[in-house]
Structure 1
Amino acid sequence: MGNYKLIALDMDGTFLTEDKTVSQQNREAIEAAAAAGVTVMFATGRGIQNVLPYIEELDLQAPIVTVNGSEVWAAPGKLHHRSILDMRLVNDMHRLALEHDTWYWAYAVGEIFNKETWANDIAGKQWLKFGYYYEDIDVLEVIRKKLTGWDALEITNSHPFNIELNPKGIHKASGIRQVCGLLGIDMSQVIAMGDSLNDVSMIREAGLGVAMGNAQDEVKELADVVTVSNEEHGVAKIIEAYVLT
């Protein structure tokens, strides 16, 4: 067992059950970890507005990494750092979505837009993340290759049928590194848990990188440990084995 001081948890497909609730087992495990002096935080692709209800439910005061690292919060309500997408890239990604007729969405500061609500005044927004969803893997691959060719974006996913884009170099690991700086600890003292490609950066860099039993195969291959699924309280299993034992 390592000297772990921070547990960074993806939310969807990891900490939360499939119906987006917190299991009693996971709740008790993070409470026990906190009582043992270990900081438990979320590192998620969600925007802060979609994270705060869970923060309040669990009464967490820890740092938070949101929108795949584009926002790092020192504590709920206390922004530490924000990374903004170049407006030209947002326009280019939007045109690409229209060209391939995909579903798309994007987080701006304090707002969420999608194909049905895309605003005409987008130039006045500060954009944090752009995403595509399409259930044709071949079309997604065409889009991914075009985006990769721009060499200007961090390209991940949170589901096999989507693509998520952040400013290049901005990902969950970059956010957690900032949190480590705030806490005065090293990445070797971090347990990171996730299920999708947007979790790979933190799983690779953490002292213990954990893939869920329901994780994408590529994530499992890169992880130090594969636990049981989110429906089987995999977070609690890891905390019990590596923090509380």
Structure 2
Amino acid sequence: MKLIAIDMDGTLVNNNTTINEENVRAIKKAQEAGIHVVVATGRSYKEAVNPVKEAGLTLPIIAINGAQMRDEEGKIKQSITLSKDTYYKADEVLGGHSIYYELYTNKGTYSDNPEMAIDIIVDIIKSANPEVSDEKAHQLADYRINNGRIHTIEDYKEVVAEPDVEIYKLLAFSRNERDRKNALNDFLTFKDLAVSKSAEANIEITHRDAQKGIAVKQYADELGIPMSEVMAIGDNYNDVSMFELAGYSVAMGNAEEDIKKLCTFVTKTNDESGVAFAIQTFMRKNRVS
């Protein structure tokens, strides 16, 4: 095992969206042993880097499901964008099914409905951590809105019309299962899209080449590491592309049963420092000290 790719929500961070000290120690021990560690998340870089820095870790980050890759110092190594033509078509599909979405760009993340922006992060938190109270989930979601991680705008087209804007992802949300399914069926006709989800009621839309598994393989290739020597740790469907390519696939204890069945190993939950448990277990198996 020479490279570990770790998801963030429901995986690396706990129910308070911080990183347990046990996880920090395990990651640092792996790095000291010469094992590379990278975060692979659906979050924007801005939302992903703070918990990492606060934990005292220095890690490269694959952000927005692989739409952006940054090195340990935050320098952008690669961006994979949606064309504006594809964006307008996707916007039409989502609008046709009355589905709210957030817009991820190089200018930041935007919402045209702050109340729905709170609902979408509550959905992600509750899906990853079912035992978290509604009150606590809303507190964490309010923090996301109030600290400038997401910008409110009346019309997304104001941003998209800017000549230098790059579109990375649409994060859609609807509690209406029929609307979500109908939208997903429509998106099957888009040859240039990757569509997945990271929570109960969301849809994540990126370029077909902006997937965690593709980004992790590219990172491994740069390091000269075969995928057979890569471990991927995650908890949801936007981690599947990593699981399919990695030699070691690890599902969190809080993952859905369908995710667990895809993986070769099931670790403890995110609140129980499941990342640390997985790293320690595989380091012992590989006789790494």
TM tier relative to shorter chain:
over 0.9
Structure 1: which amino acid aligns with 2:14? T
Cα shift readout 1:31-64 (whole Å, capped 9, x = no counterpart): 2111222122100011111122123223444322
Q: Which residue of 2 aligns with 1:95?
A: 92
Cα shift readout 1:91-134 (whole Å, capped 9, x = no counterpart): 12222222222221121014101233243241222100112111
Greater share of residues in strand: 1
Q: Distance in 1 between matches of 2:218 and 2:71?
A: 9
Q: Does 1:16 align with 2:54?
A: no
Question: TM-score if structure 2 supplies the norm length?
Answer: 0.79
Q: Which residue of 2 aligns with 1:122?
A: 160
Task: Identify the match of residue 65 of structure 1 among 50, 57, 62.
Answer: 62
Whether the 8 Å CA contact 1:189–1:206 is kept in 2: the answer is: yes
Task: Identify the match of residue 113 of structure 1 among 110, 114, 124.
Answer: 110
Deviation at 1:244, TM superposition (A): 4.3
Whether the 8 Å CA contact 1:228–1:234 is kept in 2: the answer is: yes
Structure 2: which amino acid aligns with 1:199? D
Deviation at 1:211, TM superposition (A): 0.9
Gaps of at least 5 residues in structure 2 are 114-152
Whether the 8 Å CA contact 1:197–1:216 is kept in 2: the answer is: no
SS in 2 for 1:150: coil
Distance 1:110 1:48, change over 3 A: farther
Whether the 8 Å CA contact 2:172–2:202 is kept in 1: the answer is: yes
Q: Which residue of 2 aligns with 1:165?
A: 205
Q: Distance in 1 between matches of 2:176 and 2:272?
A: 30
Task: Kindly report structure 1 stretches of 4+ aligned residues shifted beyond 3 Å.
Answer: 58-62
Q: Which residue of 2 aligns with 1:76?
A: 73
Q: Which residue of 1 aligns with 2:196?
A: 156
Once the two structures are superposed, the pairs formed by residues 22-61 of structure 1 within 5 Å of their partners are 22-61=19-58
Gaps of at least 5 residues in structure 1 are none
Whether the 8 Å CA contact 2:60–2:74 is kept in 1: the answer is: no
Deviation at 1:151, TM superposition (A): 2.5
Deviation at 1:186, TM superposition (A): 1.3
Cα shift readout 1:118-168 (whole Å, capped 9, x = no counterpart): 432412221001121111222211111111122321011111211101111
CA-atom RMSD, angstroms? 1.6
Question: TM-score if structure 1 supplies the norm length?
Answer: 0.93
Q: How many pairs does the alignment contain?
A: 242
Percent identity (aligned): 31
